[in-house]
Chains A and B, each alone.
Chain A
């Protein structure tokens, strides 16, 4: 059941590079990452690729396969026809270190800018009582394996690098939503989402949801609800008026 497949793989250190052609054996049941490994073992021992668990749980092997952001370990070769040339490139939004490995430090920086979980003072470990229905929404977001493909595909920074300073990307806007919906979190997330993390840049075109390997409904369940929460806070004159009249604010 094995055949020879045609591959084009991005090779190069830093941004300069080119697509290199390979012809490589493919066996039944294999995924793209297997083929990359076969290239390493047989034709290009210094071909750089990040990977760890090979089971879609760690989010290391993010790459672009035929132009689409995918996890190499979860893209089965059987989804391609045998005569198709498969093009593998690094994530486009982040600087290339070498070959398929990109510098994803942008994501770690943004993660650091989101204030951590802030419980009310006085609740001691072991005293937390939360109902399942109250944690389920945030639990969905915590399925995130940080493959950063949502941030990679988001046109706000993919096509406009200059927005990187003001926009934290779907991954971290979702993190903010996760904390905002946490039953015990007391920090103000809504103001920060809009002012510091650029929620307003999002035009809900849903590519983050399309590429999410964990099938998290990022747009419908995190970004839009977060936008609505911001509307409550900033753009809803009725809420504003109500708060003024009944002094309901904090």
Chain B
């Protein structure tokens, strides 16, 4: 550990950026494969945004309904993503999720149980069978804690053999990475700073796994925490990798709308899975009016049938409150716009008239607690008010499905920061399993990559110097307050590139973003380098602006509505657009280019898992003809 220019230097095999589910799972895998691994995260260890996931981890274990298997899960995932998913990822995900969940149990996780002692599984929007392994409504916390404790277990093993807890895996908490370093084409390390001291850190490492989560902080109403500033997306772009599907952003249909300070905080989908219903100000269960054609035969058309489904799922269709998230979010948006919203600008989500108070407290303890403490609302006695909130970005770093490798050698990505797996819309419960499946694969991919290297890429001093100067710049300036710039960006994205998009508005947003770029270059941060949130925000702004531009440019280009991308001026889904992926990249580090790339067609054995009638709704005539050929052969 030598100090040059006040910069500490660490050598590792793998540097994992982000300590949420994907990051920890990747780090565990890399360490289990014998690689020296650093975990770098902006918050304390164990505080990652994964704790916010409430519903559960989708895995076709078939514990509750034995008819469930990976093929059904695969179909649900593709259907949810409107067939734009990277089908290989969806396949791997559906096949491997059960093993990943079982593995957690062997590491100490305590999921809720079925009567015969297996892991219980719950219903969720878009999943045909009860499929989500869960612990009440705090599954994300269980997952993060289990992985955290697994890291500690590995450290204890290392202590036994090497006498040092941190011999093979070390957590750099409250540390932000600002640049990836390259030697030629390949990754050679990462540069960052300690939030606590403001001192710089240099990681000399041939492989970097990005697991930084999403970009929600570019929006005002969001369920995401301050950490979600699109760091991984931006780092990948700046290192020369591609982002795909950036126009697809999931607005979770049910976020809190009141009080203002908690606006956007999530109300779990389990509320609906366990019987909660959505009503407008007229008391109508309006979701029955919003069942899209592609889902007509899968959902109940009367309240009676929907209600029967909770007790008898074999003979009834599910209620439309459990439609995929994008549908529900748009429906709520439409109701509010039509003047049938609740007093504070949402709609009513009611579980109080549907379940006994005791049952609500048992099944939804943290929701009960959250509303009681934050809004002074007793959900066992009155309805909640909810509205859409920016929740998840389907788009992200374009990666190889099997290894998580990005276009830049040595760069890997997993979890929300990667793109493709969820297509145009993610099903609830698929993110926790995504983290585990692809976290592990990225860790293994990084380990394999290192083994294949002939020589270790070198850290180039001029890159380090550049990164240092870039990071220090805001401190030297007496420019604009970064909070104001941030706020304007959030407003712009929320209002102009939100749930419903129009060409003019998105273009306007791009103009604003262009101006904001200039302002970001001039923001100044008062105070010292020691734990200075103003300075940290000034640095994060570069990432948020860059990623926002990707979102807006891609949104302007895709002239159709699909999943998490709804164009007012192109309201229909267009089969011609289905296989087109929009790929963002940057050459100069400040302006974004978007290109169209065609996704390879689904493997024969996978496409034949679907009914012809269903495919017809998504595929072009040409593709249908191809399908008929395949179907005839098999």
Query: Which A residues lie at the B interface, using CB under 8 A?
Result: 13, 27-31, 34, 40-41, 45-60, 74, 76, 78, 97-99, 101, 104, 108, 111-112, 115-117, 119, 123-126, 128-132, 135, 138-139, 142-146, 179, 182, 215
> Are A54 and B265 touching (Cβ within 8 A)?
yes
On chain A, the residues within 8 Å of B47 by CB distance are 52, 58-60, 146
> Are A139 and B135 touching (Cβ within 8 A)?
yes
A55 in contact with B370 given A13-B530, A30-B259 (CB within 8 Å) = yes
Q: How far is the CA of A139 from the CA of B327 in the complex (A)?
A: 34
> Are B49 and A52 touching (Cβ within 8 A)?
yes
Q: A117's contact among B108, B165, B266, B375, by CB below 8 Å, is which?
A: B108
| Chain A min CB distance to B25 (Å) | 14
Any A CB within 8 A of the CB of B525 = yes
| Chain A min CB distance to B91 (Å) | 20
Residue among A51, A112, A123 having the largest count of chain B Cβ atoms under 10 Å:
A112
> Are B374 and A117 touching (Cβ within 8 A)?
no
| Chain A min CB distance to B165 (Å) | 6
> Are B152 and A48 touching (Cβ within 8 A)?
no
Any A CB within 8 A of the CB of B483 = yes
A125 in contact with B152 given A29-B260, A34-B261, A101-B531 (CB within 8 Å) = no
Query: Which B residues lie at the A interface, using CB under 8 A?
Result: 43-47, 49, 51-52, 98-99, 102-103, 105-108, 110, 112-113, 116-118, 120, 135-136, 138, 141-142, 145, 149-150, 152-153, 155-156, 165, 196, 225-227, 258-262, 265-266, 366, 369-370, 373-376, 481-483, 525-528, 530-535
Q: How far is the CA of A55 from the CA of B261 in the complex (A)?
A: 10
On chain A, the residues within 8 Å of B155 by CB distance are 112
On chain B, the residues within 8 Å of A28 by CB distance are 259-260
| Chain B min CB distance to A76 (Å) | 7
Q: How far is the CA of A104 from the CA of B43 in the complex (A)?
A: 12
On chain A, the residues within 8 Å of B156 by CB distance are 112, 115-116
On chain A, the residues within 8 Å of B99 by CB distance are 125-126
Q: A74's contact among B374, B482, B531, by CB below 8 Å, is which?
A: B374
Q: How far is the CA of A60 from the CA of B43 in the complex (A)?
A: 9
> Are B260 and A27 touching (Cβ within 8 A)?
yes
A123 in contact with B106 given A34-B261, A46-B526, A48-B532 (CB within 8 Å) = yes
Q: B530's contact among A53, A98, A116, A119, by CB below 8 Å, is which?
A: A98
Could you jot down 7 A-B contacts, CB within 8 Å? A29-B262, A52-B226, A53-B225, A55-B374, A99-B531, A139-B136, A182-B110
> Are A117 and B149 touching (Cβ within 8 A)?
yes
> Are A116 and B373 touching (Cβ within 8 A)?
no
Q: How far is the CA of A57 from the CA of B50 in the complex (A)?
A: 10
Interface residues of A: mostly helix, strand, loop or mixed? Answer: loop
Q: How far is the CA of A101 from the CA of B530 in the complex (A)?
A: 11
Q: B52's contact among A53, A78, A97, A104, by CB below 8 Å, is which?
A: A53
> Are B106 and A128 touching (Cβ within 8 A)?
yes
Residue among A49, A50, A99, A128 having the largest count of chain B Cβ atoms under 10 Å:
A128
Residue among A56, A74, A179 having the largest count of chain B Cβ atoms under 10 Å:
A56
Q: How far is the CA of A145 from the CA of B112 in the complex (A)?
A: 18
A57 in contact with B366 given A29-B261, A48-B533, A74-B374 (CB within 8 Å) = yes
On chain B, the residues within 8 Å of A27 by CB distance are 260-261
On chain A, the residues within 8 Å of B260 by CB distance are 27-30
- Give the nearest-CB partner of B109 in chain A: A142
A112 in contact with B165 given A30-B259, A45-B481, A128-B105 (CB within 8 Å) = yes
Nearest 4 CB-CB pairs, A to B? A29-B259, A46-B527, A117-B108, A45-B534
> Are B370 and A56 touching (Cβ within 8 A)?
yes
> Are B227 and A52 touching (Cβ within 8 A)?
yes
Q: How far is the CA of A117 from the CA of B145 in the complex (A)?
A: 12
> Are A97 and B259 touching (Cβ within 8 A)?
no
Q: How far is the CA of A161 from the CA of B451 in the complex (A)?
A: 48
> Are A56 and B526 touching (Cβ within 8 A)?
no
A31 in contact with B374 given A53-B51, A54-B265, A104-B44 (CB within 8 Å) = yes
> Are B373 and A76 touching (Cβ within 8 A)?
yes
On chain B, the residues within 8 Å of A119 by CB distance are 106
Q: B117's contact among A29, A40, A125, A129, by CB below 8 Å, is which?
A: A129
Q: How far is the CA of A145 from the CA of B525 in the complex (A)?
A: 32
Q: B149's contact among A41, A76, A116, A138, by CB below 8 Å, is which?
A: A116
* Contacts A51-B225, A58-B225 known; 8 new A-B pairs at CB < 8 A: A41-B481, A45-B482, A46-B532, A128-B117, A129-B117, A130-B113, A138-B110, A179-B108
Q: B369's contact among A56, A59, A132, A139, by CB below 8 Å, is which?
A: A56
